[in-house]
């Protein structure tokens, strides 16, 4: 056992192995980080339309902005319907579509509505909203006010709308998007933001990421009740004061440091202490496990399928092939150990080293996904990927062990490693350059892309090389029905059944190893 | 004890037979020399005998255990030094010794003490914490010998062990080999220089093209060492030839007469006075010692 541990330690500490392990661990992680940073969250378009005027002359303004970052949308067409008439106008660089209408009374303006595309240019995503009437030159914080319910409460309509928003380059955290309806005001007022930790469980009752928010509906005497919990406004801490603008994203991310909670209640106050809006927000953003899973299979796993076979083969060469040719292995073979045990211990050391690197890579990536997106890679995907990687590691290691046991030249073994890498991995299965499968299907067999025969050939080619196992696993994991172009086929029709894939994996794990064992034990 | 029966080895279908059905044995307390030119099959014989390579045919018994079928057991009593020892890169000599000791289940402390003793014996104590792969060729040979002795095996297979050593190294190794012989170990020693085995080997097997062409005992080797007396007289005739024939085999070589036999300094004096008393004048008289290497080359030449 000590000798096997020595072999494993030796395999792990070889400089080339360390270098390749760093590559295996870091490159897929970097790819994951890059792909994570490109994730977009509900980046749809939102709009606020309002009208202000009197004596049959009204100014209509529709402000169109990105719901994710609060940035104004330029060139968006807004269609206004008023008393059976339609008007189209386009947003300017500040995100405003403005027009002045004559001959319509207050009632007609108040009942008008407008449409805009939530996805610019796609009319199927069109949404209709009503125009909000503003009182001329009204309160800078509220559009109107009137007494309701009882003598102590007053209903206000705030000019501020508050909701969670995406923070640029930090997809795991939420910011707060504040939009302001300035109407014809020339000077935008300041608002101050206060916060308090949500210890009362407003957020936790709704689960992680649950948020409640809205404009202020009523004021009370410093004791707020939200979701059944009470908290004292006088205990709120001051965060910052902002100049109001049409839209802005506030990033209260520094609140998440040095604290165990990311649940906060934020309130916005006017300069004279009047509350104008609030939001209860869990600052941590979580991405769904399915989205993380999909990202992992599309970005990281192909990178692993490129580098893991290379490391497996290099490790096999260093641990067995090179030592056998240079005579180092003979200093072990001469000891009281069977030849079978010699090759098995070296094999275990070699694949063990790559297993460790692969697991470290998967673990680091999962941690990164969690750190950046709030969700770990699902355990089932980790296990499935590890099984696929294990098949690749054992398959390619076994092939090089076998080649090393029948070749007596370092040059020949290195050539075999390079040939196997480029032929059976890089040009065969790496998603950016699957030249061999395309050549075989399209040029050798004259099969058309997307046909059943084409897919069957691709599947057979994936069975032929250990690196194709990643593809088999991906198909099985992601598709019950394989869709290519306009055609769809049940995976079983393209030889992708669970027993077949498992059998192929077991064959790739054991066959090359057995060949090496027989060759080294019986024919050296 | 090492017994080799009808050993054959072919490396692949295209290559010549490296070893072609040889048989011999090395008894306990015996040093057997294996001599031959490069490619004669010495290294193949030794490597197959210690289980480093697999034989194509025949049987090899180490202390009555078959080296292929009972590899792990048979290897317990084998110490092997390769012709060109190579060791793991970047591993210190002492760590390698401990690693090798692990195969024999020697407790770590004992293994450490034994390793240091052996390294001291072969003159590498001060280099114990250097990577063995960085040693000079001579140091590698010494280290290989030390590592071969880690389990104090009963059978030693030493392939060209004296090659690449300086004179002090050669003397040291020869001394150690003779000491191990006294301890009753069976020692198989290969070399391409027959002279090296003089006063060392009990028997010598001369190999050529994978076959044994001659087996010599130590006494036979010694007799090959002093072959005759070279005489140059004023004239050479039948009478002189007759006169000298009583001392050994006479051969005429131009003006020289060579007398071959088991001759010594006393014989040389007798020949000198005998020839002079018969009226011949001697211009040159010399005891001629034919080297073992000449004998070896002659033998190989005859085998070709």
Partner residues linked to B26 by β-bridges: B2
Contact, B60 vs B23, CB < 8 A? no
- Phi/psi for B230 (5° steps) reads -100, 125
Residue B304 touches chain A, beta carbons under 8 Å: no
H or E element: which one contains A37? helix A15-37
What the block records as the tokens of A323 is: 């030592």
Nearest to A242, CA basis, from A194, A190, A278: A190
Nearest to A233, CA basis, from A212, A244, A219: A219
Residue B91 touches chain A, beta carbons under 8 Å: yes
Give CA torsion, residues A347, A352, A358, A360, to 10 deg. Answer: -160
Look at residue A435 and tell me whether its pLDDT is greater than 70: yes
List Cβ neighbours of A319 (8 Å cut-off, separation of 6 or more): A7, A10, A11, A14, A346, A349, A350, A353
Helices (H) and strands (E) in chain A, counts: 14, 22
Residue B12 touches chain A, beta carbons under 8 Å: no
Q: pLDDT category, B227, cuts 50, 70, 90? A: low
Mention the CATH class of domain A42-133: mainly beta
What angle, rounded to 10 degrees, do the helices at A15-37 and A2-13 form? 60
The mean predicted confidence, pLDDT, of chain A is 81
H or E element: which one contains A521? helix A498-522
Lowest mean pLDDT among A250-264, B123-137, B153-167: A250-264
Q: pLDDT category, A38, cuts 50, 70, 90? A: low
Residue B53 touches chain A, beta carbons under 8 Å: yes
Rounded CA-CA distance B147/B169 in Å is 16
Residue with tokens 């044994």: B212
List Cβ neighbours of A371 (8 Å cut-off, separation of 6 or more): A172
What the block records as the tokens of B254 is: 């131009």
List Cβ neighbours of B12 (8 Å cut-off, separation of 6 or more): none
| Residue B188: burial class (beta carbons within 10 Å; 0-12, 13-18, 19+) | buried
List Cβ neighbours of B7 (8 Å cut-off, separation of 6 or more): B19, B21, B22, B23, B45, B48, B49, B55, B57, B58, B59, B60
Residue A487 touches chain B, beta carbons under 8 Å: no
- C-beta neighbour count of A452 within 10 angstroms: 14
Helices (H) and strands (E) in chain B, counts: 10, 14
- Cβ-Cβ contacts under 8 Å between A and B: the total is 60
Angle at B297 (CA atoms; ends B252, B256), nearest 5 degrees: 15
Look at residue B158 and tell me whether its pLDDT is greater than 90: yes
What angle, rounded to 10 degrees, do the helices at B93-103 and A2-13 form? 140
Rounded CA-CA distance A482/A354 in Å is 32
CATH code reported for the domain at B227-288 = 3.30.70.100
3-class secondary-structure state, position A286: coil
Contact, A278 vs A216, CB < 8 A? yes
Contact, A205 vs A273, CB < 8 A? no
The mean predicted confidence, pLDDT, of chain B is 88
For residue A2, the model assigns a pLDDT of: 65
Torsional class of B205: left (φ above 0), alpha (ψ -120 to 50), beta (otherwise): beta
Rounded CA-CA distance A67/A47 in Å is 9
Cβ distance of B51 and A334 shorter than 8 Å = yes
Chain A hits for B73, CB-CB cut-off 8 Å, are: 336
ipTM of the complex, rounded to two decimals: 0.81
Contact, A395 vs A512, CB < 8 A? yes
Mutation target vs B (from A1, A325, A331, A409; most B CBs, 10 A cutoff): A331
Mutation target vs A (from B65, B99, B108, B158; most A CBs, 10 A cutoff): B99
Per-residue pLDDT, averaged over B238-263, amounts to 82
Query: Nearest by CB to B99, which of A6, A336, A522?
Result: A6
Q: Nearest chain B residue to A5 by CA: give it.
A: B99
Residue B69 touches chain A, beta carbons under 8 Å: no
Look at residue A217 and tell me whether its pLDDT is greater than 60: no
Lowest mean pLDDT among A58-62, A111-115, A398-402, B193-197: B193-197
Partner residues linked to A114 by β-bridges: A80, A129
Contact, A302 vs A309, CB < 8 A? no
Chain A hits for B91, CB-CB cut-off 8 Å, are: 10
For residue B263, the model assigns a pLDDT of: 75
Look at residue A219 and tell me whether its pLDDT is greater than 50: no
Residue B15 touches chain A, beta carbons under 8 Å: no
CATH 2.60.40.10 residue spans of chain A: 42-133
Per-residue pLDDT, averaged over A81-99, amounts to 90
- Phi/psi for A347 (5° steps) reads -65, -45
Cβ distance of B80 and A334 shorter than 8 Å = yes
Rounded CA-CA distance A88/A90 in Å is 7
Contact, A392 vs A504, CB < 8 A? no
Rg (CA), chain A: 32
How do the domains of chain B map onto residue ranges? 2-222, 227-288
What the block records as the tokens of A183 is: 């109407």
Look at residue A15 and tell me whether its pLDDT is greater than 70: yes
Q: pLDDT category, A200, cuts 50, 70, 90? A: low
Rounded CA-CA distance A379/A376 in Å is 8
Torsional class of A388: left (φ above 0), alpha (ψ -120 to 50), beta (otherwise): alpha
Sheet holding B256-260, edge to edge: B249-253, B256-260, B228-233, B282-288
Residue A338 touches chain B, beta carbons under 8 Å: yes
| Residue B261: burial class (beta carbons within 10 Å; 0-12, 13-18, 19+) | middle
Nearest to B22, CA basis, from B40, B37, B7: B7
Rounded CA-CA distance B105/B96 in Å is 14
What angle, rounded to 10 degrees, do the helices at A452-464 and A469-478 form? 130
Per-residue pLDDT, averaged over B10-18, amounts to 80
Mention the CATH class of domain B2-222: alpha beta
Nearest to B47, CA basis, from A305, A185, A334: A334
Higher-pLDDT residue of A81, B267: A81
Residue B47 touches chain A, beta carbons under 8 Å: yes
Task: Give residue-wise pLDDT tens across range A309-334.
Answer: 998 999 999 889 999 999 999 999 99
What the block records as the tokens of B92 is: 């210190």
What the block records as the tokens of B258 is: 């060579």
Cβ distance of B54 and A522 shorter than 8 Å = yes
Task: Give residue-wise pLDDT tens across range A253-296.
Answer: 777 665 667 788 888 888 877 778 888 888 877 777 888 888 88
Task: Give residue-wise pLDDT tens across range A143-189.
Answer: 654 433 344 444 456 788 888 887 766 767 788 888 887 766 667 88
């Amino acid at each position: 056992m000590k000798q096997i541990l020595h072999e494993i330690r030796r395999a792990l500490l070889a400089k080339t192995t360390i270098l390749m392990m760093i590559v295996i661990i870091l490159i897929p992680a970097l790819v994951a980080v890059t792909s994570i940073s490109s994730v977009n969250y509900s980046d749809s378009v939102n709009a606020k339309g309002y009208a202000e005027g009197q004596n049959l002359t009204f100014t209509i303004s529709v402000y169109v902005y990105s719901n994710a970052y609060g940035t104004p949308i330029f060139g968006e067409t807004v269609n206004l319907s008023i008393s059976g008439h339609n008007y189209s106008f386009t947003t300017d660089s500040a995100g405003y579509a403005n027009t002045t209408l004559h001959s319509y009374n207050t009632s007609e303006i108040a009942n008008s509505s407008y449409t805009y595309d939530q996805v610019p240019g796609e009319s199927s995503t069109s949404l209709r909203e009503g125009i909000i009437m503003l009182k001329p030159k009204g309160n800078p914080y509220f559009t109107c006010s009137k007494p309701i319910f009882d003598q102590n409460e007053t209903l206000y309509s705030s000019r501020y709308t508050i909701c969670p928003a995406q923070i640029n380059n930090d997809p795991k955290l939420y910011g707060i998007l504040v939009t302001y309806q300035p109407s014809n005001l020339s000077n935008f007022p300041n608002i101050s933001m206060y916060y308090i930790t949500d210890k009362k469980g407003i957020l936790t009752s709704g689960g992680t990421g649950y948020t409640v928010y809205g404009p202020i509906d009523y004021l009370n005497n410093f004791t707020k009740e939200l979701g059944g919990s009470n908290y004292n406004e006088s205990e709120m801490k001051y965060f910052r004061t902002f100049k109001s603008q049409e839209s802005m994203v506030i990033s209260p991310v520094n609140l998440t440091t040095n604290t165990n909670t990311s649940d906060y209640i934020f309130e916005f106050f006017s300069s004279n202490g009047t509350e104008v809006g609030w939001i209860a927000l869990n600052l941590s953003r979580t991405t769904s496990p399915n989205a993380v899973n999909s990202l992992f299979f599309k970005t990281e796993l192909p990178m692993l399928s490129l580098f893991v076979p290379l490391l497996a083969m290099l490790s096999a060469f260093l641990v067995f092939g090179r030592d056998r040719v240079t005579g180092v292995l003979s200093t072990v073979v001469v000891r009281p150990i069977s030849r079978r045990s010699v090759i098995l211990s070296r094999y275990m050391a070699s694949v063990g080293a790559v297993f460790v690197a692969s697991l470290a890579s998967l673990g680091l990536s999962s941690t990164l996904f969690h750190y950046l997106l709030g969700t770990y890679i699902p355990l089932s995907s980790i296990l499935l990927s590890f099984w696929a990687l294990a098949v690749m590691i054992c398959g390619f290691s076994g092939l090089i062990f076998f080649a090393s046991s029948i070749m007596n030249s370092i040059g020949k073994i290195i050539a075999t490693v390079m040939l196997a890498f480029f032929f059976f991995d890089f040009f065969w299965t790496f998603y950016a350059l699957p030249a061999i499968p395309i050549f075989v299907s399209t040029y050798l067999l004259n099969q058309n892309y997307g046909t059943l025969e084409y897919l069957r050939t691709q599947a057979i080619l994936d069975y032929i090389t250990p690196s194709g196992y990643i593809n088999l696993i991906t198909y099985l994991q992601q598709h019950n029905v394989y869709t290519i172009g306009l055609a769809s086929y049940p995976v079983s029709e393209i030889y992708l059944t669970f027993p077949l894939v498992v059998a192929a994996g077991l064959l790739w794990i054991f066959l090359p190893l057995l060949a090496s064992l027989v060759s080294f034990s019986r024919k050296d | 004890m090492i017994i080799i029966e009808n050993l054959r080895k072919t490396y692949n279908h295209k290559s010549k037979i490296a070893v072609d059905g040889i048989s011999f044995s090395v008894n306990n307390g015996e040093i057997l020399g294996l001599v031959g030119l490069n490619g004669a099959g010495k290294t193949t014989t030794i490597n197959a005998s210690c289980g480093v390579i697999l034989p194509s045919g025949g049987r090899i018994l180490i202390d009555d255990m078959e080296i292929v079928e009972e590899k792990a057991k048979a290897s317990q009593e084998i110490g092997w030094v390769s012709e060109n020892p190579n060791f793991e890169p970047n591993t210190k000599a002492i760590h390698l010794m401990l690693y090798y000791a692990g195969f024999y289940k020697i407790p770590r402390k004992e293994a450490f003490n034994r390793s240091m003793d052996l390294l001291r014996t072969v003159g590498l104590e001060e280099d114990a914490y250097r990577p063995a792969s960085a040693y000079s060729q001579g140091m590698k040979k010494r280290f290989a010998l030390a590592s071969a002795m880690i389990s104090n095996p009963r059978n030693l297979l030493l392939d060209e062990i004296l090659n690449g050593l300086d004179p002090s190294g050669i003397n040291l190794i020869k001394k150690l080999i003779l000491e191990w012989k006294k301890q009753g170990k069976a020692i198989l020693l290969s070399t391409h220089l027959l002279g090296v085995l003089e006063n060392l080997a009990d028997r010598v097997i001369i190999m050529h093209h994978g076959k044994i062409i001659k087996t010599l005992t130590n006494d036979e080797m010694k007799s090959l060492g002093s072959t005759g007396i070279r005489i140059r007289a004023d004239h050479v005739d039948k009478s002189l030839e007759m006169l000298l024939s009583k001392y050994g085999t006479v051969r005429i070589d131009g003006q020289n007469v060579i007398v071959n036999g088991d001759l010594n300094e006393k014989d040389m004096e007798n020949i000198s006075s005998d020839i002079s008393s018969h009226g011949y004048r001697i211009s040159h008289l010399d005891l001629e010692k034919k080297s073992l290497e000449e004998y070896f080359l002659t033998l190989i030449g005859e085998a070709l």
